[in-house]
Structure 1
Amino acid sequence: MANKLPPNVHVSTHPSVRAKLSQLRSSSTNAKETKALVHDIATMVGCDALAHGLSTVRTGTDMSPLGYEYTTEDISPSHISLVPILRSGLSMIDPLQALLPSPVPVHHLGMYREKSTLQPVEYYNNLPYHKAGDNTSVSELAIIVDPIIATGSTVCAAIDTLRDWGVSRIISVSILASEGGLQRAAQAWPEGVEFWVGGVDAETDERGMIKPGLGDIGDRLFLTVGK
């Protein structure tokens, strides 16, 4: 990588992630295969992210089928939410939910990039409302899922929204990012956000698309290429 990435950025070195990412890049990969590859890469990257970002706590005791007592454990923090960025982030909900021991709330953020400025515009937000000073409905940890970090503008906007909501920490899980986008996003809240990505490409083009990248992953997933 041309420039050293910030310490809160983690890029997968798993051989299977690299091989599946190579398959996902191909223009010949159809929608069904794209969905399966995103699922697989999200599972592997998410596994590393949660191993680093969660801990375990003892919760009591139980009995095994053979009648032996054992100590039960659960994850900490327990108050977690998944935050997919619409629409392509929807493809990463199931693999991340499957890695967690119990289902967690899913709070959607809808954002699109304005074509002329490449700046994010928020059009949907279903984070639970709470009064000032009352953070009982706010998750301690929010896990942003979005397959692509290109310019970094969208994930920065999502981070600002979640900070305003009141979260203590954020884990961002993505399939692919640009180096510049990661550099920018990592500065948004260095002490509060950890970024986990499957791979990194050096740059974006004049349209804000990663080179060589994955194309518009939302269009590929939902068969709307050329809309």
Structure 2
Amino acid sequence: MENVFIMDHPLIQHKISIIRNKNTGTNEFRKLIEEIAILMGYEALRDLPLEDVTVETPIETCQSPMISGKKLAVVPVLRAGLGMVNGITTLVPSAKIGHIGLYRDPVTHEPHEYYCKLPDPIEQRQIVLVDPMLATGGSAVAAVDFIKQHGGKNIKCMFIIAAPEGMERLHKAHPDVQIYIGHLDRELNENAYICPGLGDAGDRIFGTK
């Protein structure tokens, strides 16, 4: 499937296995989400554009590559996506941060927007949308819709765990968007939870029930 990248790095897989464990506590869970985001971000950002700049080393002056263009924009889907932001800003400290707030209707499971604030000018930036879970795909499709409505064009999405149903729905709705997945799980259950999954990522990151 073009523009869909499923991670196979042993460190990513190892850390995902730990966060799946129901006995992994809030502090460790939060730390691992951040570490997985760093590892996935390293892979996802390998095509960032570069330009040569003049650098003075202790020995001589040289031309050396640095990231070009407007600063990267990291856009977490609230609230669980917040857990992945520090991972990306560890790699790109100059990145701007936007936020998209969605809530899921408990009956229809469809998303509704309650907050959207993006860095300006968004249309000139590489945008990385982050959310630990891609379940039905409804929230992800809506979030990409909002970014495009605000003028965003160059969009990557990063999910630690995904269900096949969500991956297919997002790819079908936005085939131009690159999708990075830490692990593709088996299926959604009747309550739209990913199986085997890891439970509610937001609750586990923030220690709420």
| TM-score tier (shorter) | over 0.9
The percent of aligned pairs where both chains have the same amino acid is 34
How big is the shift at 1:46? 0.9
Alignment pair present for 1:195 and 2:179 = yes
Cα distance change of structure 1 residues 137 and 162 upon mapping to structure 2, 3 Å threshold: closer
How big is the shift at 1:45? 0.9
Contact map agreement 2:127 2:156 (CA 8 A) in 1: yes
Aligned to 2:77: 85
Contact map agreement 2:97 2:119 (CA 8 A) in 1: no
Render the CA deviation track for 1:4-46: whole Å, top value 9, x for unaligned: xx21110110011111111110000000110111111111111
Residue ranges of structure 1 left out of the alignment (5+ in a row): 1-5, 130-135
Superposition pairs of residues 90-105 of structure 1, within 5 angstroms: 90-100=82-92, 102-105=93-96
Residue 7 of structure 1 aligns to a residue whose secondary structure is coil
Aligned to 2:132: 147
TM-score, normalised via structure 1 length: 0.87
RMSD over aligned Cα, in angstroms? Answer: 1.5
TM-score, normalised via structure 2 length: 0.95
Aligned to 2:16: 21
Alignment pair present for 1:204 and 2:188 = yes
How big is the shift at 1:105? 1.4
4+ residue runs over 2 A deviation: 76-80, 136-140
Residue 8 of structure 2 aligns to a residue whose secondary structure is coil
Pairing partner for 2:165 from 174, 180, 192: 180
Cα distance change of structure 1 residues 107 and 139 upon mapping to structure 2, 3 Å threshold: farther
Name the aligned partner's letter for residue 43 of structure 1: I
Contact map agreement 1:81 1:139 (CA 8 A) in 2: no
Alignment pair present for 1:168 and 2:153 = yes
